[in-house]
Amino acid sequence: KETSPKKMAQGADAPLQFLGMESNPDVMTKLVGELGLPAKWSVNEVFGLEPDLLSFVPAPTVAVILLFPSKPVFKECKAQQKKKIDDEGQKVPDNLFFLKQGSTLGDACGTIALIHSVANNVEKLGLADGPLKDFIEKTKGMDPIARGEALARDTGIHAAHSKFVQQGQTSTAEEGGTGHHFTSFTVLDGDLFELDGSKGFPVNRGPCGEGDLLIRTAEVIRKEWMDKDPEEVHFCIMAIGPQPE
């Protein structure tokens, strides 16, 4: 059923409410297309991390999106990761586009994963004029917190999100709180970056050639998620790349 955009609080400048998104590649392809991604690109399902299954993913892969359960083991890893970065630092290019998912953004992590994936590959993907290109331009020079706050009030991106969430939503999305979280990965300046808005900081996962993005990300997902909770099976992996033939 159609629902009008909701706000999390009263007032003309109140943050917009983002409902949780299902991990549906077709719906995510439509959403990112509405935001300005040319039709020759799509969000493609990754059926497994074994090399033979990765070989079925249309190449070149520009970004990878992971959906994983929001469980204590992964939250503990996030805390350890933050401490390590605070203590040791990390290399992050000045031109990396990253936004922090604050509490006002609700369940926007699926759309944020798409934004991070595309905004760091604008020229490569040939991003067309539209809500996302406008957002990138108007938030240029902002820090991650300010970018997140700007997204919470961006009516163009919110309208697209709401339109396609309704096509792929589940009861958990309607109720608010999916129990899962999206993050994304892409290569910039020779390094693989994990871009998770809920962490508040990008994570440099080490050297990576652009042609190795998919296989290197598969290694990171296996080590940092699957191996840490071997009994968990509720993961979904998608890749932004060419439309399947």
Q: Supply the residues annotated as catalytic.
A: 109, 181
Q: What is the DSSP letter of 120?
A: T
3-class DSSP state of 16: strand
Q: How far apart are CA 145 and CA 168, in angstroms?
A: 29
The full length of the chain comes to 245
DSSP one-letter string for 184-240: EEEEETTEEEEE-TTTTS-EEEEE--GGGHHHHHHHHHIIIIITTSTT----EEEEE
Torsion of CA 157, 162, 164, 166, to 10 degrees: 170
Which among 49, 202, 47, 179 is positioned nearest to 112, based on CA atoms? Answer: 202
Contact (Cβ atoms closer than 8 angstroms) between residue 30 and residue 162 = no
**Widest Cα–Cα separation across the chain:** 53
Quick one: the chain helix, strand, coil %, rounded to 5? Answer: 40, 15, 40
